[in-house]
């Protein structure tokens, strides 16, 4: 307990001096020395929340293997989004659905950049891949406390087999209701 108080005092000094990197290092060093100490993890999480760096919480908890710690901080764990389509090379238009384990909000990008609530697109419907080329979809889930997951990505390549072949949307599959079919014919 005395050691933890000393860490908190040293951390507060770094924060007051606006040296967030040194303050963060205090926590990471302490956690490396005591990887089963849930109170240290909670203090680090509080630090990230107080300094408006919630995106660092997922990386901190991703390295934790102690079930007791993970149980103690479970409110701060956000699961990564899941993709409906395996990455790979496809010869026709594809749709990629994203889902989150606990109904968290999903944000994504299609240009390979890091997604966030500010810079990503909020997921509302499957992402349509209808042009030839490679697309990297990166996604995060954000829980109700505003804590994002670690970003996950999948890369998809669309290569139409015949030059000037029309693109048909939606892709082949079974549908339970009527769907509008769009055929895009090259010039």
* Surface-to-core class of residue 10, CB atoms within 10 Å of its CB (0-12 exposed, 13-18 middle, 19+ buried): middle
Q: Is the pLDDT of residue 178 over 60?
A: yes
Per-residue pLDDT band for 131 (boundaries 50, 70, 90) equals very high
User: Which tokens in the block code for residue 90?
Assistant: 């496809």
Its pTM surpasses 0.85: no
Q: What ranges in 34-185 are assigned the alpha helix state H?
A: 38-50, 55-62, 67-72
Tokens of 50: 């107080």
Are the beta carbons of 78 and 148 closer than 8 angstroms? yes
Phi, psi of 61 (to 5 degrees): -80, -20
> Which pLDDT tens digit goes with each residue over 16-66?
445 678 888 888 888 999 999 999 999 899 989 988 899 999 999 988 999
Quick check: helix, strand or coil at residue 20? helix
């Amino acid at each position: 307990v005395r050691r933890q108080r000393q860490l908190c005092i040293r951390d507060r000094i770094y924060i007051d001096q606006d040296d967030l990197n040194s303050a963060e290092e205090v926590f990471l060093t302490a956690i490396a020395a005591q990887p089963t100490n849930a109170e240290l993890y909670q203090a680090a999480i509080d630090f990230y929340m107080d300094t408006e760096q919630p995106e660092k919480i997922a990386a901190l908890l991703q390295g934790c293997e102690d079930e007791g710690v993970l149980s103690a901080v479970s409110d701060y764990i956000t699961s990564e989004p899941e993709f409906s389509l395996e990455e790979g090379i496809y010869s026709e238009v594809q749709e990629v659905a994203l889902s989150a384990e606990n109904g968290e909000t999903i944000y994504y990008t299609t240009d390979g950049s890091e997604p966030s609530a500010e810079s990503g697109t909020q997921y509302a419907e499957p992402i349509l891949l209808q042009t030839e080329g490679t697309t990297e979809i990166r996604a995060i889930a954000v829980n109700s406390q505003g804590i994002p997951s670690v970003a996950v990505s999948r890369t998809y390549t669309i290569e139409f087999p015949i030059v000037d072949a029309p693109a048909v949307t939606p892709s082949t599959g079974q549908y339970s209701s009527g769907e509008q079919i769009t055929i895009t014919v090259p010039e």
